[in-house]
Amino acid sequence: MKKNHGVFIKNAREVACLAEANCIVANILDAAGDIVAPGLPTIRFEELARDMCADCRVRPAFLGYYGYPYAICCSVNEQVVHGFPSARRLEEGDIVSIDMGVIFDGFVGDAARTWPVGSVSAAHMELMRVTENSLYMGIEQARPGNNVYDIGAAVQRYVEAHGFNVVRRFVGHGVGAKMHEKPEVPNFRPTAHGVTLQNGMVIAIEPMVTAGTYEVDILEDKWTAVTRDGKYAAHFEHSVVITQMGPRILSISDRDLNRHIISA
Ligand code: MF3
Ligand code: CO
């Protein structure tokens, strides 16, 4: 692993490990999305994630990270990120985000998605749609020669044009042998200049978007981030390698890869 301005440049083997780690994460998120339903206690997502980690012989990356007590983060409605899975049952109209990480062969995969629970208001469907689209607006900027801050600028422009706001308190990050590496990847346009992106850098882009204020508070549990005004938030995250040909999303599930195969 070479370094450039403190950012690790991954070789082909390292990218292959990151791809495998992220594929496992995406498979777990697929399976989690499949069981989202009113009445489901959110701790079921934790059990599912731990079972799948055991099956794939990988370690959850979040469990024990700075003392974090679970394998997943599960954030409902006004919870932005780092919510705890619990006995709380999902209700029709909720929106639920799951953030998941695993360590495969010493490399970290990290991705997140948000789903509607049953039928959800049009405004909250729009919040999720805009958040997911903003992630792809950011990914589009993840090319050699661009500045890392071009990503946040694109995310912020898109989100604000649709009347929503991006959280400042948490940012995306480089990812590799450690979950959080340089550089920081904000979802907004900072004033300074960041690093120039280059072939072999791997970053997790993770816009957190709110229906109201972007200000967040942390609950008594020291982890759960909630919007200050109680309005809902959505979160989507992909890990991406920068290549000569442009961004390559690593957190793609087997189902996504095979989506063109149809059985008669
Ligand atoms: N995807 C989050 C991040 O990149 C997950 C970290 S949660 C923690 O920061 F519990 F592991 F801290
Ligand atoms: Co992340």
In one-letter notation, the amino acid at residue 5 is: H
Q: How far is the CA of 207 from the centre of ligand 2 (A)?
A: 10
Q: How far is the CA of 259 from the centre of ligand 2 (A)?
A: 25
pLDDT at 262: 80
Decide if pLDDT at 3 tops 90: no
**173 annotated ligand binder:** yes
- Mean predicted confidence (pLDDT) in 142-158: 98
Ligand 1 atom with the shortest distance to the CA of 179: 4
Of 106, 99, 98, residue with least CA distance to 21: 106
Mutate to test the pocket of ligand 1, among 75, 99, 216 (most ligand atoms within 8 A of CB): 99
Which residue's alpha carbon is at the smallest distance from atom 8 of ligand 1? 62
- Give the torsion through C-alpha atoms of 10, 13, 14, 18, to 10 deg: 130
pLDDT at 191: 82
Interaxial angle between packed helices 43-56 and 12-35, expressed in degrees from 0 to 180 and rounded to the nearest 10? 140
**82 annotated ligand binder:** yes
| pTM (2 d.p.) | 0.97
Rounded to 5 degrees, φ, ψ at 104 are -115, 120
Percent share of the chain, pLDDT over 70? 100
Alpha-carbon distances, residue 129 vs 32, 114, 222 (angstroms): 19, 10, 29
Decide if pLDDT at 73 tops 80: yes
pLDDT band with cut points at 50, 70 and 90 for residue 44: very high
Two tokens at 109? 């995969």
Q: How far apart are CA 55 and CA 178, in angstroms?
A: 23
| 95-147 pLDDT per residue, tens | 999 999 999 999 999 999 999 999 999 999 999 999 999 999 999 999 999 99
Residues with C-beta less than 6 Å from any ligand 1 atom: 62, 65-66, 68, 73, 82, 99, 110, 112, 173, 204, 206, 237
- Give the torsion through C-alpha atoms of 67, 73, 74, 75, to 10 deg: 90
Rounded to 5 degrees, φ, ψ at 48 are -60, -45
The domain total for the chain is: 1
Percent share of the chain, pLDDT over 90? 94
CB-facing half-sphere around the CA of 27: CA atoms within 13 A: 17
In one-letter notation, the amino acid at residue 29 is: L
Q: Which domain holds residue 100?
A: 2-263
Name the helix (H) or strand (E) containing 113. Answer: strand 107-116
Q: How far apart are CA 137 and CA 133, in angstroms?
A: 6
Two tokens at 111? 């991705």
Two tokens at 100? 């998941």
Mutate to test the pocket of ligand 1, among 25, 46, 59, 62 (most ligand atoms within 8 A of CB): 62
Ligand 1 atom with the shortest distance to the CA of 68: 10
Ligand 1 atom with the shortest distance to the CA of 112: 1
Ligand 1 atom with the shortest distance to the CA of 65: 11
Cβ atoms of residues 162 and 130 within 8 Å: yes
pLDDT at 5: 85
pLDDT, mean over the chain: 97
Cis peptide bond N-terminal to 183, omega within 30: yes
Mutate to test the pocket of ligand 1, among 82, 135, 238 (most ligand atoms within 8 A of CB): 82
- CATH code of the domain containing 74: 3.90.230.10
Of 160, 166, 185, residue with least CA distance to 174: 185
Ligand 1 atom with the shortest distance to the CA of 61: 11
In one-letter notation, the amino acid at residue 32 is: A
Q: How far is the CA of 59 from the centre of ligand 2 (A)?
A: 16
Two tokens at 150? 């071009």
Q: How far is the CA of 172 from the centre of ligand 1 (A)?
A: 10
Two tokens at 11? 């070789």
